[in-house]
């Protein structure tokens, strides 16, 4: 696995990992993590030593969003608004643009790319897709959304927002959140829990607050409407796989179907929807085989 940094600005440095398949006619998989995660919470999909690894069959790119993992973001004079959805999407667009024009990485895109987002990362993936320049949009063969946060605003009551801001404040609060809200201890390994705890507690406070105060309240439907109109002009139907956990209490399957699946279908997207039995919110860790099905569902044969 190759570890790299890309400078978006003097303060914003995006860390990302690349794995290269030895010989693959498959698209590049671009992984975007959830609120509380990092590129390492995709380790079951990207680590060459994982029994579920996709790195032999696909080239992969896993990103630390600004302020998460090893990535940095603006601090001097910055606010949580600087860590909102469109800012994070802009970082990914800049990174992808850089990689497509840099000789060491242009071959990664030879067979296109698939954006894969989890929870908050799914909303970022939708925003990214909606703001891609034409050359990158043409390369994008599909979108996979795991337990996606809806593109419409969600405004929490003040008391609930305050509770969420404390969820990742200490290792013990992270452990409680993992095993009581996001998943269950029986579905995760010790390595999973240690990885999540490290990712959640190391985030910059502005990045943690950015989602609660702004990201979940951001309305990106205007960007999706513009993308839909653009795709319809070209006669193209974008393929999307949406996965929800049967037992997810964060992004409940009914809301996912209503506010993500139906919203995209109404705008001309070709959407495949699957509910994963016995799974909560942490789909990449709880159901790596489900992630594989989601990816296979958006691949374009012969690409």
Closest CA to 181 of 202, 167, 199, 195: 167
Q: Give the mean pLDDT of 71-87.
A: 94
Cα–Cα–Cα angle for 178, 211, 263, rounded to 5 degrees: 95
Q: What is the pLDDT of residue 302?
A: 41
- Give the tens place of pLDDT for each residue, 248-286: 999 999 999 999 999 999 999 999 999 999 999 999 999
Residue scoring higher pLDDT (146 or 26): 146
Q: Where are the domains of the chain?
A: 2-296
Contact between 133 and 162 (Cβ < 8 Å): no
CA distance 47 to 55: 7
Find the Cα–Cα–Cα–Cα dihedral 71, 74, 78, 80, rounded to 10°.
Answer: -20
Contacts of 138 (CB under 8 A, 6+ apart): none
Contacts of 270 (CB under 8 A, 6+ apart): 237, 238, 239, 240
CA distance 183 to 179: 5
Q: Give the mean pLDDT of 27-38.
A: 96
CA distance 101 to 107: 10
Cβ of 238: how many Cβ atoms within 10 Å? 20
Q: Is the pLDDT of residue 24 over 90?
A: no
Cα distances (Å, whole numbers) of residue 249 to 45, 124, 154, 272: 24, 20, 15, 21
Cα distances (Å, whole numbers) of residue 106 to 30, 109, 188, 225, 256: 14, 6, 36, 30, 35
pTM of the full structure: 0.95
Closest CA to 146 of 24, 6, 44: 44
Q: Is the pLDDT of residue 223 over 80?
A: yes
Q: Would you give the end-to-end CA distance of the chain in angstroms?
A: 25
Q: Give the mean pLDDT of 83-103.
A: 96
Give me the CATH code for the 2-296 domain, please: 3.40.50.1820
Q: Which range, 18-27, 149-158, 191-200, is most confident?
A: 191-200
CA distance 92 to 200: 20
- Give the tens place of pLDDT for each residue, 118-160: 999 999 999 999 999 999 999 999 999 999 999 999 866 666 6
């Amino acid at each position: 696995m190759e570890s790299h940094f890309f400078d978006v600005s003097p303060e914003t440095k995006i860390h990302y990992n690349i794995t290269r398949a030895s010989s693959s006619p498959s698209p590049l998989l671009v992984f975007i993590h959830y609120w509380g995660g990092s590129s390492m919470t995709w380790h079951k999909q990207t680590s060459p030593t994982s029994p579920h690894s996709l790195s032999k069959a696909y080239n992969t790119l896993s990103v630390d969003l600004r302020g998460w993992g090893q990535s940095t973001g603006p601090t001097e004079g910055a606010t949580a608004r600087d860590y909102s959805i469109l800012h994070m999407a802009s970082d990914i667009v800049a990174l992808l643009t850089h990689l497509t024009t840099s000789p060491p990485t242009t071959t990664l895109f030879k067979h296109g790319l698939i954006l894969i987002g989890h929870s908050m990362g799914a909303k970022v993936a939708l925003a990214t897709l909606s703001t891609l320049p034409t050359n990158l949009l043409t390369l994008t063969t599909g979108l996979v959304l795991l337990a996606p946060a809806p593109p419409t605003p969600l405004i929490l009551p003040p008391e609930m927002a305050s509770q969420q801001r404390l969820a990742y404040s200490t290792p013990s609060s992270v452990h409680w959140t993992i095993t009581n809200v996001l998943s269950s201890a029986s579905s995760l390994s010790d390595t999973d829990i240690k990885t999540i705890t490290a990712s959640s507690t190391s985030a910059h406070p502005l990045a943690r607050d950015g989602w609660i105060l702004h990201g979940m309240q951001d309305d990106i439907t205007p960007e999706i409407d513009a993308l839909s109109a653009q795709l319809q002009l070209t006669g193209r139907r974008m393929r999307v796989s949406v996965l929800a956990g049967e037992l997810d209490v964060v992004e409940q399957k009914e809301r996912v179907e209503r506010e993500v699946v139906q919203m995209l279908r109404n705008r001309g997207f070709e959407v495949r929807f699957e509910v994963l039995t016995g799974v909560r919110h942490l789909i990449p860790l709880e159901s790596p085989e489900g992630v594989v099905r989601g990816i296979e569902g958006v691949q374009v044969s012969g690409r």
